[in-house]
Amino acid sequence: MPPLNLTNLTPATFVLAGIPGMEKSHIWISIPFCSIYLAALLGNGVLLFVIGTERSLHQPMYLFLSMLAIADLMLSTTTVPKMLALFWFRAGEISFDACLTQMFFLHFSFSAESVILLAMAFDRFVAICYPLQHAAVLTQSAVVKTGLVALLRSFCIIFPCIFLLKRLPFCGHNVIPHTYCEHMGIARLACADISINVLYGLAVPFAAIVVDVVLIAVSYVLILLALFRLPSRTARHKAFNTCGSHVCVILLFYIPAFFTVLTHRFGQEIPHHTHILLANLYVLFPPLMNPVVYGVRTQQIKEKVMKVLNCPKSH
């Protein structure tokens, strides 16, 4: 077979088609999507401002929470503005490089968020099982190093996807039946064997996320065993409360993500527009709910938010 001239077979632009079969409803769908996105920006912005300005919140749990808020903002901002432009102005065109950039930051922020949730589980494990060692183990330096590990691991896992896509010829196929660019959505347009993309896209990131989930589960089994050994009901209730917020956030993050991945790979009988709607909720719902869960369930954050909101009234 003669060598392919890949430069001629790489499209200058892709076209995002939106939600196939629901094009007439794009404007109506955009209203809740835009509202959720604005609420997520506000919630995570307030959370970052409160944690950044209140020295009493410069503790590992809240520093991890601020990292989670940054990852949430990246996850939604990578996808939603372009999605809304598509819904409102039919601006579905996106350059090949911009599409790869969006794909990279989408998967990168998801992977980073998974590492941060694991770090938060470890923080709760040390705080409850080894409270006297907590300050010595989880120093600010350790928190910063954890953030760097999250960035480095995510980069190393996702960056190869760019090269796996750049090597593919596309033969004029450039319409992506989706609202944003993701690895397998781009790969399926190629007119070549994409088995390496399928293998890498499913095995490597999925394996990394599964390892995170297993380690989080182990942490919580050990936490529960330690909680049931606590003599004081008050201490047990307080520990349950601090863990409860984190468990809610874990469920909000992993359940939609795993459901989206599994239905995308194995749910061929599920209508395509259902896949796309689920994939959109996965980039919108966790960024909306995480600040709400922590804001409502964490007394320190609730108090500081009320203090910030009441500041103008005191003058």
Digit-coded pLDDT (tens) for 142-193? 999 999 999 999 999 999 999 999 999 998 889 999 999 999 899 999 999 9
Instruction: Give per-residue pLDDT as tens, 71-115.
Output: 999 999 999 999 999 999 999 999 999 999 999 999 999 999 999
pLDDT for residue 4 is more than 70: no
Dihedral, CA atoms, 126, 132, 133, 135, nearest 10 degrees? 90
**What is the average pLDDT value for the chain, to the nearest integer?**
89
Q: Is the pLDDT of residue 195 over 90?
A: yes
- Secondary structure E strands in 37-118: 93-95
pLDDT at 41: 97
* Residue 313 pLDDT class (50, 70, 90 cuts): very low
For range 124-136, the mean pLDDT = 92
Instruction: Give me the phi and psi of 248, to 5 degrees please.
Output: -60, -45
CATH ID of 14-304, from 1.20.1070.10, 3.30.750.24, 1.10.3720.10, 3.30.70.270: 1.20.1070.10
pTM of the full structure = 0.91
What's the pLDDT score for residue 1? Answer: 43
Pairwise pLDDT comparison (22 vs 311), residue with the higher score: 22
For residue 95, the SS3 value is strand
Burial of 133 (0-12, 13-18, 19+ CB in 10 A): exposed
CA angle 263, 116, 198 (to 5 degrees): 35
DSSP for 229-296?
T-S-HHHHHHHHHHHHHHHHHHHHHHHHHHHHHHHHHH-TTS-HHHHHHHHHHHHHHHHHHHHHHHHH
Position 237 scores a pLDDT of: 80
Burial 57-88 (b: 16+ CB within 10 A, else e): bebbbbbbbbbbbbbbbbbbbbbbebbbbbbe
How far, in Å, CA of 55 to CA of 34, rounded?
33
C-alpha atoms less than 13 angstroms from C-alpha of 30 in its C-beta half-sphere: 18
- For 243-263, the pLDDT digits (tens) are 888 899 999 899 888 777 777
Q: What pLDDT, on a 0 to 100 scale, did the predictor assign at position 159? A: 96
Query: What does the pLDDT look like over 42-73, one tens digit per residue?
Result: 999 999 999 999 888 899 999 999 999 999 99
What pLDDT is recorded for position 151?
97
Distance CA 249, CA 118 (A): 11
Q: What pLDDT does residue 312 have?
A: 52
